[in-house]
Every structure is written in C-alpha cells, then in structure tokens.
Amino acid sequence: KRRRASVLPDLPADHLHFAIKKGKHKLLSRINFALQDIKEGSLQSIYNQWLAPSQHSMLLNYGTLNLTQDEKNWLDNNPNIPVGTHSSWYPYDFTDEQQQHSGLSADVLNLVSNVLGVSFESTTYLTPEAAEVAFNRGETMVLTNITPTTDKARYMDFTQAYSFEPWVLLSRSDRLGNFAPSGTEAIAVIENSGGATVLPSLCLTCQAVPYINHVSAFQALQKDEISFALASLHHAAPLLHQDYVGQFKITGTINEQNSAPLALAVNFRHPMLLSILNKAIGALPANELERLENKWLTYEYQEGLSPREVAKWSVIIGLGIFMVIFVIVFWNRKMAAEIEQRKVAEQRAKAAEAHLQTLADNIDGVVLKHIQTNPQQPLNIQFSFVSAGVTDMFGLSVVRVKEHPQYLFGLISEDELPQFETSMLEAMESGHWESEQQVQLESGEVKWVKFNSQISNSKAIEWNTVITDITLLKKQQQALDNARQKAESATAAKSQFLATISHEVRTPISGILGLLELMQEHQLSEELLNLHGGLNQSARNLLHIVNDVLDYSKIEAGKLELNPTEIELGKVLARIVQPQSIHAQQKGLAFHYWQDPNLAQWLFADDIRLHQILNNFLNNAIKFTEHGTISLHIDVIEKNQHLQKISLTVSDTGIGIPKDRQQSLFQPFEQADKTTSRRFGGTGLGLSIALKLIEQMDGTIELSSEEGKGSHFTVTVVLPTCAPEHAVSNALALSQTLICTSEAENPIELDMSNHSQEVYVVGYVLQQEELCRYLKHFSLEPKVLHINQKHLLKEMVVKHQPKHIFVAMSVWQQLAITDAWIQQHADSTRFTVINQNPMLSPEPLGNSWCLSVNPLLPDNLIHVLTKPVSHDNLISPLDNPTKAPIAKETREQAELNGRLILVAEDHPINQQVIAKQLENIGVHADIVDNGVLALNALKDKRYGLLLTDCHMPEMDGYTLASSIRQIEQRREELEQETQRLPIVALTANAVQGEDANCYAHGMDDFLVKPVSIKQMKLTIEKWLPAIKDSVPTLETEAPNTEQLDTQNQDMTSSSDSSSNFSSTEENTNEFSMLFQDIEHSFAESDNLALNENVDPTISQDSCNDMNNQVIDYSALYDLFEDHDVVMTLLDEFAASFVEDNEQIKTLWTAKEYQQVKTTSHRLKGAARMVACEPIASPLANIEALTNELVTGAVSLEQVESKIEASIEEVDSTFDLFIDEMNQLRQTKEKAYSYE
C-alpha cells in the first residue's frame, strides 16, 4: 500500500524519512518493520541507482561527520569560532556565578566542539537585540538559543534544532475553566522569544501584548491587565515556584504543538559553517542529547486540580462537618444544663424576692415599682411593689397605696401637682427622673421628699422608684444659704470698705508728699535733710501699699477692667527695663534682657497692666537678690497670622522660695517667709494682683524656684497682632541696606564688594550670646575673638574688612584705640564700644558708639548698627549767634503773657541744670518731679510751654502728654476756650524711633540730654510767644512802692525757688550718686579746643597746655554759658570726689570688689558730667578690671598692680584738677579787677 510522505524542513537534506500522521502507531510499526525487512542487496541496488557516490557514502557512514575537504580546510583556518549567547534565559542560556556561559546550549556547544575539534568563544549579551546587532556586524558567527522564524531567515541561517522549548499559557489561579479562545483575548508574549511562533498555533486572532521579560508579564497578569501569559515553561518555572506560588495555573495541556525549536543561527557570511554545524549536530549521539535534556529540562507541573486546593477544601469541609457535630452535641448539653439552671434560678428568684422584700421594708425610705398604663397620663399608674417604708414615711398602708395610688399623689399640693406631672412626662424621654417635692401628711406634718425613678425596660412602661426623706437636708441647706448670703454681704462690704478707705487714705498721703516737697524749698540742716528723706520714702511706700490694696479691692469687687490698645510691645518693655536696670545696678546686680526677634511690632494689649505685672516681678527679683543677675526674657512660643503666644520670664539668683511655700505664694497677704515682711517690706499683695491680672488676660503663670538658688516666674499670654499702616512685620526688622559703615549723616547702602558679612566681638562682654543671636537675626555673621595686641587687631581688620567690630571697654582701654588709629587702619569699619554699666541710650565715644549690654536693648543695638555717630545733641553751636537775647520780665508778666514754663523732671541735679539754664536765658519756670504734679500745676496756673522728661515715677512724660491732649480735646468738644500747650520732650534715650514715639504721644518737639543752653534758647524762642511791645508809661518809668514790693516779692519767690536747688547742692555726698547713670564721652581731640563763645575773660594762658588739661572748660561753658555756674558744679564735684575716692581705697583694701566697681562707676559718671575725662579714664579702668575680677574672668594677681596704678593715677590727676580750679578762679578774679 503506497503512502505519501512529506519532507521535514528542519532535518538535514542528506537524510530522508517517512512521515505519517500522528497517532498512527500501527502504521508506523509496519513501515519500520518493512524497512528493516528489505534485503541489504536490494538497498544497495536502490542506492546505486538513485544516489551519487558521496550520498551513498553518507548513508553507509550515518552518524559520522563525513566532512568534505573544503569543510576541513575551513575548520583548520578558523580554530576559534565566536558565539553570541544570552545572559539570562535559564536553563538554555545564562551566566553562572563564575560568570561563565552555562545551560543546555553551552553543553551542546561543548559536544560540538569535541566533535569538530574547534573552540567556541562565547560572548554574553544582556538582551537578544544586542546579540543580534553584534551578529549582523560580524562580531560573532553563531547565535545560540534561536527559534527560526520567517523574519529572521532574511538575515541569518539556521541549523537543525538541537532541542525544543515548551511554551504554556498561564492564567490567574482563580480563573475557572481551560483556555477557550474567543479571538479577543489579550495574551502576554515575551519579546524576541520563541513564544511568538507558538501563539498562532494556539490562537490566530488573539491580541499579542509584548513584554520585555517574564517578570513584567507576570506582574501584568497579577494585576489583571491581561487575560493570559504565554511563558516558557522551563524559563518561568523558578518564578512560578518562588515569587508566584499558587497565583497562576497552566491553562490547557503541554504537547509538541506548544514547543518551539531551538537552533543555532549562522551568519550569511559563513555558509561553510552552516553545513559543518548541521553535520556536527546530526552526528551527536541521541543518548547524549537526552542526557542534557534530563539535566536541564526537568520540571514538575500539575494538571487538573491542585493537590493544595484539594487539601484545602478537604480541610474546610471536614472542619465544617466537625463544627456542625460539635455544635449539635454542645447545644444538647447546654439545653440540659439550662433546664437545670432554670429550676435552680426559679428557686433562687423566690428566695431573692423574699429577701428583697425584707430589705425594701427595712430601708430608710420607700421602694416602689409601678407600671405606666398610659404614657400621656403619668399619674395613671399601677403599683406592682410597695415597701413597708410607705407607712413610716407617709402614714399610708401598703395595701391602700397599691389599690389606690392617688392617695400617695394626693399628699402633694394642688399648685405643685401640674409641675410634678410635667416632670414625669419629660422623664419618659430621658429614662430617668429626679424630683424634690414638699408633701403634707394627713396628720398635718410637712416633709420634703426626693423621687428617684429609673425605667426598667426599653418600652418605658415599668419604673423603679425610690423615695427618700430629705427634710433634714433641706433645713441644713437653708442654713447654708443664709450663711453664704451673710458671707457675700460681708465680703462686698469689705471690698467696698477697702475701696473707700484706699481712696480716702490717698488724699492725706498726697498732702504729706506735697508738704515734704514744699519743705525742700527751705534751708534744712543735715539732720533735717535725713529726716526729710526718711519721711518722703515712708510716704511713698505707704502710697504704694494703698495702691496695692486699692487694686486688690477692685479685683475682688470685679471692677478692675483691662483696656487693651494697639501697643509697640518692644518699646513698652524697653521703658520697663531701663529704670529697673538702674535699680539693679544700684544694688550691684547685673541685668540681662532678651527679646525674641520674632516678636511682632504691634500687639493688642493693656500696656499699663503689663507694666504693672512685670514691674512687680522685677521689683521682687531685685528686692530678694543680694548678688548675681536679674533676667527678663521675652520669647515667642507660637504664632500665626493673627495671634502670638508669648512667654515673659523673670529670673533672679536671689533667696529662692521653699517648695512648701510656693503654692500659697500667690494668695493675698502671703509671703515666702513670715520674716520676709520685716526683712524686705511689702504687703504680700503684689503677686496676688499680678495673678489676677494674668488670669484676666487669659494667661498662665509658672513658678520654678529652689531655696537659696533663685526663682523663675514665667507668664504666658496670647496677644492678637495688629498692623497699623506704619508697622513692620516684627519688632526687630532690620534692612541689610540700612546698616551703616561710614560716618555719613544718613544710613547708606552697603557696598558688599568691599565688606564681608562678618561682625567681630572682641573681648568678653555681658549678654554675649544674646548679642550674637541678634546679629545673626540681622543676617550678619558674628565671631567672638580674644585679641590683646593692637597689631593683631589691625591685621584682622585689613584682612577681613568686617562691617562692624564690637569691642569690650576693657579691651578698648587696654589697646588704647583712638579715632586717629581707626581712621588710619580701619576707616571703613564701624567700631562700637561695649560698656558693662547701665546706660539709657547709646552715647558717642569719639567717632564711635558706646553701647551698654547691662542690659542689651535691641533698639539700642539697631541704633548703633544703623545710625552714624553725631555730637550735635551734646554740644550744638547756636544757629544764629547774633540773635538778640530774650528780654527780662517778671513772673506775673510771664504768666500773663503765656510765657511761664513748666518743667517736669525727677532727677534733682537735672532740675538744677535746667533751672540754671532757664535763669541764664531769662525766663521763669516751675519745676515738678513727675507727671502727676505737672497735671496738678496745669490746673492752677497758666503755662506757655511744658518741658517734660520721658521717664519719671508716678506718671511718665508720654502719659502726661497724652493726658493733656485728652483734656484739650474734651474742652474742644464742650466748646470751651482752649489753647494748645506746646510740649517738648527731654530725654536721654537716643535710640532709633524715640522722636516718633514722642510725637505719637502728642509732644511737639524733641531734645536729647544733655541739652546745651543754646539749644534750650532756640527751643524756647520757637515755642514761647514773643514779649508784647508796650508803650512806656509813667508807672513803667517810675514804679511806685507797691510795684517795687511786688518785684521784691518776685525776687524773693525766685530766690526761694532757687533754694530748692541750693539745698540739694549742699548735700555733696549725694552728688556722685545722682550722676551714676549718666555717661557721656566728650570728644577727645577735636573738642579740646576752646569754643569761640567762651567767656573772653578766661584766656588761653591761664591754663596748662590744652592737650594736658584735666577740665574741659570749653565744653562746660558751652553747656551753661556762665562761669559762676561752671565753677559751682566743679566745686560740688571736688567736694564729693574726696569722699568717694577714699571710699574706693577703703573698699579695695577690704577686698569689696563689687562695691569698688559700683563706686568707681558712679564717680566716673560724675567726672564725665563735669567734662573731666582724665579723671574718668582711670576710673573706667578700675571699673572694667574689677568687673572682670568679680565675674571671675581674671585673677587678683593679674589685675592687682593695674588697679593700684589706676588708683594712684586718679589721685595724681585730681591734684592737677585742684590746680586748674585755682587757676580758673585766679584768672576770673583778675578779669574782675581789670573791669
């Protein structure tokens, strides 16, 4: 029987086979048997007839190479054949751990290599594309692991297959059924792999979605982005068994249809190699290829149901059956137990009911249980249980109440019964009811009872009620109410009494203070002066106590209210800190101040009460601290667009507060120790008032203290921010373009090409850390240096050219830095001298600023950073020297013409200076000590001008000016005749913005102390009206006796007014102390020449050489323009100097270094006030060195000789001072004799 055979294209052309339809095993066996049965002779005849000799030889030697001579020659010429392999197609092609080519293809190449006797040089490529590129370039002759396709056949040849790669369709394990393609499925196919040749045999119309590798295809399948993934079974097996266990399953069966042949690709350039490799592969023993496949292509897969799934469902079903059986058994046993329990429970319930009845009958009250038959009629009820207590409480029997419940409700009065019924209706919603009712028994007795009812089920039908007798409780409550009303009445009466008596006591105290002030105008002996001082201080202390009592009474009466306004908190704090720092300095204490740069400039708060709170804490801190430091720290804790949470912390190193006394410290009239009042004074009301004010501000206060180590009071408040048009973002905003580096009149923009951002702090100073933090906030770069030689300072300045250098006063004096040295070596660098002593504002020191860091006020720091040094406020020449002097007039005329001046100044010496200046100018003035007295004076007299200090006790200049403007405004509203009073500020505070602050409070002009007589004269001429011209009359030409008497009285009055200052002048021991907080550094070289307006009677020859003078007479004369006044001040200074200088020596011998520092500071300030810089300079050395000694910066051995040398220098310089004083007197006397 003849069969048609087809040639297999993948087999070598030299060998022919019969092909039969798959599955025809019997036919295959018969053909094979028939072929074997053909006689050998017959085969030879057939071969001879149809085959060439070479072909005949090949058949005879099947399984051997049978290479031609040309093929052998080609192999001889190419012993090393380059092969391109894949790096990661396990198990066919991959790179092992030794970076060697491995896998099935590698082993096949090894067999072929052995057969041919050549070497294959493998080159591994990461991707098939890279391998094909190198193949096409001719870099490799052969590629392994290639599935022949029509596209690839255009540019490469293929050998016969040496293996077959099975491909399978994978789907998610939860997908039901096998693969039944509809033609629209999306199937993942690996790019450049044999899967593309297999897919058409599975589904011709399915959409092939290419992926770069199996991992990306599996991730897409896992995310359900595709329906199936066509994967190489052997290559994907590790992933399926490791990363995707149980997630995928094989859809369909594995057969030859799903297998892709693997062959070697040969470059077109080498056709001889293709023939050689085909022969070599055909010559490979079948058992070797089978061995390699068993080695690399062994895998396991499960068809049909997964054993794991079978096991899982078996366990689930088994557990389900077990649970059903278990529940049935358990339920049966439980039911039997419940039946038994119910029997026991019934017995127990009967016993409990009997026991409950016994308890309810013996309880002190009535227990009821009723059923609400109609919710709309709460009194229509039926009692199911009534205890025997109903008889004792209401005199009703149990049976009677059960049968007729209305008897119980009938005890309630008819007026209260509707409210009782309404409350029961409301209880239906809440489920609970409480009511107190007054009942009247049948016997006439009245009782108070309380009903407590609770719903016993959710249907609000059954209620449990307990009625208790509260008659005794009501009587006690009534008694307590009566007692409370009496206590409240007593408290109100006490508060009213305190408020009334405080106001009443203030009046005589004010009278006492006024009389004491009047006493100052009379000549007093030293003993009377001491008594006067004690009386004055006692009266002021009494007034302070009365104010505390008044404030506390207002708090208790609820009448103390806050008046918040828009305030500049930074300036409010500065006004608090300045006097307190002076107070601390007087006790020898350091004062540290820190203000958070993030603090908003404008806040909404009651500045008066903040002032009161902080002053209270600071006064206590200074009072209870003998040595150490007082600190005030302002920090912004939280902030947003509209609010700032601020903490204000007052710290001291004083006596501290014991733990057991801290809780009661804020109670009224309480102090830390019973002896505190005797030792330090005070009422114990201050902290209580402060606490009440803080609570009114919705703030909190925290106390941290340890006995003997000091205390920390922290006030935390939340303040709203506000933004007036002229406000900035925060209180310490500083533009970098406004930092001065030259001596120009106005701030100039920085040339950053010549200056670095570095700022140097040379030497140790107080608040050094805070200074650096401020500078960093201004975007500067502070660096602390310790330089003790001038040439090192010069080298540093020349090398780095810093914007600013802050130098400690001790280093400044030690290095003898002068304006000439700065101009020569550091002309473009600003120098600021750091003073450890308190100063109200920065002061010029030559061409540099002198800044105090005790405390360090940020406004002062901004001032020295932004303002050039100017001496205009110290010695100002008269703008118009030719202007005629003001004409003299009597006091009555001055008041009548509106030319009487009122001066508000609290410092006695400043009062004396101003009085002398006004007397020399030729005007009349009244001088008061504070703003309160100034307001009183304005009520009694007509003044044409007010000169007021800005910082005074009782009422400062700002408040005084604001009060005057308010009074003027009220008069205008009442259409009363009003004349605006000119107000001129006198202040030692020269910080930036102080003038604007004065103008904002209603002042008209602004003068900075010390004020020269010329400045004073110009200001008076500016604001006082001119003297009215009058026609001479007979009275004016020849005054009568009465007029002469009046004039004499005026002179006497003027003399009495001056005696006020004379009495102060006599107290020479107080002179230096009055100047301890005023330090002015007059110019050293450029101001030593005599001013052109010096009294001509004082000649150049009457004194020593100007460069060697102790007294700068020119500066003093420019200030007062009166030789007698100058000499009087110098005499007073000389008298006080002797005692203070001896005190310094005594304290130095006694090793009281802190007192030496304080006294030398006080004496130095007095010397500078009278322009004696040669005396002030060694005193400044003493102060600086003793300060370092007190702080521990140096030892006694290091500074002892220097301090003693400075003390000797003070003595010798004072001798020169006495000589110059005598020369000045003699010169003046000669001038008088010439006249």
- Is 781 a residue whose pLDDT tops 50? yes
State residue 961's pLDDT score: 94
Q: What HEC string does 412-449 produce?
A: ECCCCHHHHHHHHHHHHHHCEEEEEEEEECCCCCEEEE
Q: Do 609 and 683 belong to one domain? A: yes
Instruction: Among 355-359, 424-428, 609-613, 673-677, name the one with the lowest average pLDDT.
Output: 673-677
State residue 1165's pLDDT score: 67
> 936 or 1112, which is more confident?
936
- Is 963 a residue whose pLDDT tops 90? yes
Would residue 739 count as lying in a domain? Answer: no
State residue 15's pLDDT score: 59
The percentage of the chain sitting over the pLDDT mark of 70, rounded to a whole number, equals 77
Q: Do 87 and 19 belong to one domain? A: no
Q: What is the mean pLDDT of residues 386-395?
A: 81
Would residue 1066 count as lying in a domain? Answer: no
Kindly report the number of other CB atoms within 10 A of residue 407's CB atom. 15
Locate the DSSP E strands across 325-413.
366-372, 381-386
Q: What is the mean pLDDT of residues 562-569?
A: 88
Cα distance between residue 826 and residue 30, in whole Å: 119
- Is 866 a residue whose pLDDT tops 80? yes
State residue 1032's pLDDT score: 37
454 in Cβ contact with 431 (< 8 Å): yes
Q: Do 640 and 704 belong to one domain? A: yes
State residue 952's pLDDT score: 80
DSSP string over 291-311? HHHHHH-------SS-HHHHH
State residue 159's pLDDT score: 92
- Is 918 a residue whose pLDDT tops 90? no
- Two tokens, residue 349: 């319930």
Average per-residue pLDDT in the chain?
A: 77
Radius of gyration of the chain, Cα coordinates, nearest whole angstrom: 56
Kindly report the number of other CB atoms within 10 A of residue 1058's CB atom. 16
Cα–Cα distance list, 542 to 195, 498, 502 (Å): 107, 15, 11
> 1114 or 938, which is more confident?
938
State residue 141's pLDDT score: 93
Cα distance between residue 589 and residue 231, in whole Å: 89
Cα distance between residue 1099 and residue 1108, in whole Å: 16
Q: Which of 560-569, 923-932, 1134-1143 has the highest mean pLDDT?
A: 923-932
- Is 750 a residue whose pLDDT tops 70? no
Q: Do 410 and 516 belong to one domain? A: no
User: 1025 preceded by cis ω (within 30°)?
Assistant: no
**Whose structure tokens read 């600071």?**
618
State residue 637's pLDDT score: 93
Q: Do 383 and 513 belong to one domain? A: no
**Domain with 773 in it: what CATH number?**
3.40.50.2300
Helix, coil or strand: residue 467: strand
Q: What is the mean pLDDT of residues 435-464?
A: 79
608 in Cβ contact with 563 (< 8 Å): yes
pLDDT band at 678 (very low <50, low <70, confident <90, very high): very low
899 in Cβ contact with 944 (< 8 Å): yes
- Two tokens, residue 522: 């009379």
DSSP string over 111-133? HHHHHHT-EEEEEEESSHHHHHH
pTM of this prediction? 0.39
Q: What is the mean pLDDT of residues 1171-1196?
A: 86
Cα distance between residue 1129 and residue 1134, in whole Å: 9
State residue 1099's pLDDT score: 36
Q: Which of 554-563, 730-739, 934-943 has the highest mean pLDDT?
A: 934-943
Would residue 1032 count as lying in a domain? Answer: no
Cα distance between residue 1095 and residue 1113, in whole Å: 10
Cα distance between residue 960 and residue 774, in whole Å: 33
Cα distance between residue 703 and residue 390, in whole Å: 59
pLDDT band at 1108 (very low <50, low <70, confident <90, very high): low
pLDDT band at 742 (very low <50, low <70, confident <90, very high): very low
Instruction: Among 225-239, 833-847, 992-1006, 1066-1080, name the one with the lowest average pLDDT.
Output: 1066-1080
State residue 735's pLDDT score: 43
Would residue 1205 count as lying in a domain? Answer: yes
> 541 or 151, which is more confident?
151
Q: How many domains does the chain have?
A: 8
**Whose structure tokens read 């403007």?**
965
- Two tokens, residue 384: 């199911």
**Domain with 516 in it: what CATH number?**
1.10.287.130
Cα distance between residue 109 and residue 119, in whole Å: 9
Q: What is the mean pLDDT of residues 546-568?
A: 76
Q: Do 254 and 131 belong to one domain? A: yes
Nearest-5° Cα angle at 908, 907 to 911: 85
Kindly report the number of other CB atoms within 10 A of residue 452's CB atom. 14
960 in Cβ contact with 929 (< 8 Å): no
> 391 or 1121, which is more confident?
391
The percentage of the chain sitting over the pLDDT mark of 90, rounded to a whole number, equals 12
State residue 10's pLDDT score: 40
- Is 999 a residue whose pLDDT tops 70? yes
Task: Identify the domain boundary among 277, 297, 317.
Answer: 297
Pairing of strands 945-949, 186-190: unpaired
State residue 460's pLDDT score: 52
Burial class from Cβ neighbours inside 10 Å (0-12, 13-18, 19+) for residue 1016 reads buried
Q: What is the mean pLDDT of residues 667-684?
A: 50
Task: Identify the domain boundary among 560, 579, 608.
Answer: 560
Would residue 333 count as lying in a domain? Answer: no
Cα distance between residue 1097 and residue 1113, in whole Å: 13
State residue 1225's pLDDT score: 76
1137-1158 pLDDT, tens digit per residue, is 888 888 898 899 988 888 888 7
Q: Do 554 and 685 belong to one domain? A: no
1039-1096 pLDDT, tens digit per residue, is 333 333 333 333 333 333 333 333 333 333 333 333 333 333 333 333 333 333 334 3
Q: Which of 148-152, 352-356, 385-389, 591-595 has the highest mean pLDDT?
A: 591-595
Helix, coil or strand: residue 810: helix
Burial class from Cβ neighbours inside 10 Å (0-12, 13-18, 19+) for residue 558 reads exposed
State residue 72's pLDDT score: 87
Q: Which of 257-271, 681-695, 861-875 has the highest mean pLDDT?
A: 257-271
Cα–Cα distance list, 946 to 280, 888, 894, 1111 (Å): 125, 19, 14, 33
State residue 1075's pLDDT score: 33
Helix, coil or strand: residue 742: coil
- Is 392 a residue whose pLDDT tops 90? no
Q: Do 206 and 276 belong to one domain? A: yes
Element (H, E) at 1153: helix 1153-1169
Helix, coil or strand: residue 947: strand
> 228 or 524, which is more confident?
228
Range of the domain at 29: 10-52
Q: What is the mean pLDDT of residues 131-136?
A: 90
State residue 1023's pLDDT score: 92
662 in Cβ contact with 668 (< 8 Å): no
Q: Do 103 and 252 belong to one domain? A: yes
Q: Do 229 and 107 belong to one domain? A: yes
Would residue 498 count as lying in a domain? Answer: yes
Cα–Cα distance list, 587 to 581, 628, 820, 828, 1154 (Å): 10, 10, 38, 40, 10
Cα distance between residue 1104 and residue 1091, in whole Å: 16
- Bridge partners of residue 831, in order along the sequence: 805
pLDDT band at 518 (very low <50, low <70, confident <90, very high): low
719 in Cβ contact with 646 (< 8 Å): yes
pLDDT band at 67 (very low <50, low <70, confident <90, very high): confident
Q: Do 252 and 111 belong to one domain? A: yes
> 228 or 987, which is more confident?
228
Element (H, E) at 593: strand 590-595
386 in Cβ contact with 401 (< 8 Å): yes
> 1045 or 310, which is more confident?
310
Region at 395 (left for phi over 0; alpha for psi -120 to 50; beta for the rest): left
State residue 871's pLDDT score: 56
State residue 57's pLDDT score: 60
724 in Cβ contact with 601 (< 8 Å): no
The one-character DSSP state at 1101 is G
- Is 1103 a residue whose pLDDT tops 60? no
- Two tokens, residue 534: 């004690």
Would residue 555 count as lying in a domain? Answer: yes
pLDDT band at 733 (very low <50, low <70, confident <90, very high): low
DSSP string over 127-165? SHHHHHHHHHHTS-SEEEEE---TTGGGT-EE---SEEE
- Is 623 a residue whose pLDDT tops 80? yes
* Proportion of the chain in helix, strand, coil states, percent, rounded to 5: 50, 15, 35
Cα–Cα distance list, 1117 to 134, 900, 921, 1091 (Å): 105, 26, 14, 8
pLDDT band at 717 (very low <50, low <70, confident <90, very high): very high
**Through-space distance between the first and last CA atoms of the chain, rounded to whole angstroms:** 173
Q: Do 783 and 829 belong to one domain? A: yes
Task: Identify the domain boundary among 560, 589, 620.
Answer: 560
Would residue 1062 count as lying in a domain? Answer: no
